[in-house]
Amino acid sequence: MPTAAKLVAALAFAALGYLGGRLFAGEVPEGTPTALFGPWGALAGLLCGWAISGARAGRGYWPALGTGVRTVVTGVFLALLGYSLYIMVLRAMRMLYDGPIEALLGVFDLMLDQAQLLARPEILGTLALGGMIAGSLTEWAGRRWK
């Protein structure tokens, strides 16, 4: 059921996802297409904000901080999975895999490679602090507009 808390969570985490995607774009190797990082991060943030943080609003501000970080971690996982699937499909179309199983396993190798690029203090700190702020905003909206 749509609520104000879910809407605020979706918008706040979408903005944070977009910011995280743009920060991540600065870490990838030269020549990597980065146009989709921001929108994919925003989509992952929107979905996770609505489903996770928005659904847990109303439990207090301290739990909202943890829920915000949990939402960010889930959103990062979804964004990495989506990007890795996209790259796998591009590589599969160039026949760089021997079979479908190798291609599916390649997704997880790609996710690990991308996660290593993501593990920068400025990116992780921004996402963690932003998740706590977005979680607090969600809690505030849940209490304000019941």
Quick: pLDDT tens for 100-146. Answer: 899 999 999 999 998 998 899 999 999 999 999 999 999 999 888 87
For the chain, give the longest Cα–Cα distance. Answer: 56
Mean pLDDT of the 88-100 span? 90
Contact 9, 138 (CB under 8 A): yes
Structure-model confidence comparison of residues 32 and 90, the more confident one: 90
Q: How far is CA 1 from CA 4, 7, 12, 33, 62, in A?
A: 10, 11, 18, 37, 24
Give the least confident one: 8-17, 30-39, 100-109, 112-121.
30-39
Neighbours of 104 (CB within 10 A): 13
| pLDDT band at residue 32 using 50, 70 and 90 as cut-offs | confident
Structure-model confidence comparison of residues 57 and 67, the more confident one: 67
Q: Which of 139, 141, 85, 92 is nearest to 110 (CA)?
A: 85
Question: What contacts 94, CB < 8 A, 6 or more positions away?
Answer: none
Q: What percent of the chain lies above the pLDDT cut of 90?
A: 67
Q: Which pLDDT value is given to residue 93? A: 92
Q: What is the mean pLDDT of the chain?
A: 92
In this structure, what token pair is assigned to residue 129?
């602090």
Q: How far apart are CA 138 and CA 127, in angstroms?
A: 16
10 pLDDT higher than 80: yes
In this structure, what token pair is assigned to residue 90?
């591009």
Q: Which pLDDT value is given to residue 36? A: 85
Determine the residue type at 23.
L
Q: Which pLDDT value is given to residue 146? A: 73
Contact 108, 26 (CB under 8 A): no
Determine the residue type at 27.
E
